Amino acid sequence: MQSSQVHIIAFGEGGIDAVAAACRISTSEGTALDAFQKSGQREKDLKLIGKVLSSGHNTVTEHAYFTLAFNNVSVLCEQLIIEHRLAAYTVKSRRYVDFSGAGFVIPEGLGEKEAAYRANMEGLFSAYTRLLEMDIPREDARFVLPYCFRSNFIMSCNARELMHMVSSMTAGRLSAYDEMRRLGKMLKNEIDQRFPGLCDRPEAQDAPALPGVSNIPDPTAARQQAELLHAPENADALLHAAFCASGRGEVSLKQLVRSARPRELELLNYVFKVSDVSLACVTHFTRHRMQSLIVPSPVKALEKNAYVLPQSIKQNNEALQIYLDAFHQNTQAARAFTDVPQALSYFALAGNTVDLLFGMNARELRHFLRLRTCARAQWEILSAAREMLALLTEEDRALFKYYGPSCAVLGRCPEGRLSCGKPQKMRED
């Protein structure tokens, strides 16, 4: 049987030396290179690093970098890990990869309920396979997969973020899940072999708690909706102040949006609520790192029990019946596990929806909308992004009329041979 695993596949050369140099540089005479050249004596360097960390100066660890491979972990694990903001991720795509044989995670402590758990998850995989056999696109068939199905991804982060993550996995919020707790211990063991003592001082963490739900309603189809909750009242004044501070003089909004370094846009902050986003689509939002994002627990998706309904499913009566049956049967099965909180998150289906709340500044929105209003974007995030852009344009047409896909903003398509072949023209005014 497959088991969830995590392994360090790369640790930056000279990472410990660099951290030791950072420990020296702020209190030593000489250059940065002088500080680094004093490194290289492992025992002495580790003792110095331990002393600095014990004083609470964890920033020095940001100079060491790790790359991790998460193997055959649940999508629940993937979601919880990706919520760590100061890291880079590359995830196995459910749009392009067939997950029929991926398998699923079985949480501990199910006892006599394990057989029912297995039967339900196997039934969902069967529904997924049948949809694929009917030529339903993978990106739509995946909505019937449960959050226990196995995925793989690669993550890179600095040692400080890694320390925070391991602490959460072994003693904090994430440790409520046995899968996460076991992965955290596995990861700590591998870190100890490469950077001894790094994780010996766990951070203060919220007490682990598993979300529960007393009632799971019957499933219903959802309709996505975007709302603009907050926009700056004085955008023009903020931009004017930014232009004065930068010293480059005022430029047109069109030039600003299309410039290589539109720092002034970072002063304009916007808050959105997007209702009924599928759990599968949540990943498209979370991978944008420069934002403040509130992501509900997958159990909230069960508590709501609404689901997305793709056009490819709607247009095929047989596929529609398989799809609806999958959600209804999963609801019946999940109701028998409301007294097993750890298992509930794994019952959430990729097509179940939650409501997202997030804030982005105008520079990050430029990047987000360039990618997500592109015709090649996945249809659900494309719909949300276009709705967001319409709201922004209504709020401030002078600025946001220059936003849109890369072809409209930059005058060229970055997709190469994958281009849709129908670029939008650049706006001239």
Q: What angle do CA 174, 176, 178 make, to 5 degrees?
A: 95
When pLDDT is cut at 50, 70 and 90, the band that residue 1 belongs to is low
pLDDT value at position 386? Answer: 97
Quick: pLDDT tens for 157-190: 999 999 999 999 999 999 999 999 999 999 999 9
Give the 3-state secondary structure of residue 179. helix
Residue-wise pLDDT tens digits, 86-122: 899 999 988 889 999 999 999 999 999 999 999 999 9
pLDDT (tens digit, 9 = 90+) per residue, 215-262? Answer: 999 999 999 999 999 999 999 999 999 999 988 777 899 999 999 899
Residue type, 355: D
Q: How confident is the model at residue 426 (pLDDT cuts 50, 70, 90)?
A: low
Token pair 């709501």 is found at 304
pLDDT for the residue numbered 209: 80
Q: What confidence score (pLDDT) does residue 429 get?
A: 52
How do strand 220-221 and strand 306-307 relate by DSSP bridges? parallel
pLDDT of the residue at 315: 97
Least confident range of 78-82, 397-401, 404-408, 421-425: 421-425
Question: Mean pLDDT across the chain, nearest whole number?
Answer: 93
Mean pLDDT of all residues in 2-31: 92
Q: State how far the Cα of 389 lies from the Cα of 78, in Å rounded to an integer.
A: 29
**C-alpha distances in Å from residue 236, one per residue of 23, 243, 391:** 44, 11, 18
The DSSP letter of residue 401 is T
Q: So what's the pLDDT on residue 428?
A: 55
pLDDT tens digits, one per residue of 182-218: 999 999 999 999 999 999 887 778 778 887 888 999 9
Alpha helices in 70-154 (DSSP H): 75-82, 114-133, 138-141
Give residue 28's pLDDT band: very low, low, confident or very high (50, 70, 90). Answer: confident
How does residue 419 score in pLDDT terms, banded at 50, 70 and 90? confident
Task: Quote the CA–CA distance of 174 and 210 in Å, as a whole number.
Answer: 9
Give residue 2's pLDDT. Answer: 73
Q: What is the pLDDT of residue 212?
A: 80
**What class does CATH assign to 220-296+354-418?**
alpha beta
Q: What is the mean pLDDT of residues 47-51?
A: 94
Share of the chain above pLDDT 70, in %: 98
Percentage of the chain with pLDDT > 90? 80
Q: What is the pLDDT of residue 427?
A: 57
DSSP one-letter string for 183-204: HHHHHHHHHHHHSTTTTSSPPP
Distance CA 225, CA 370 (A): 20
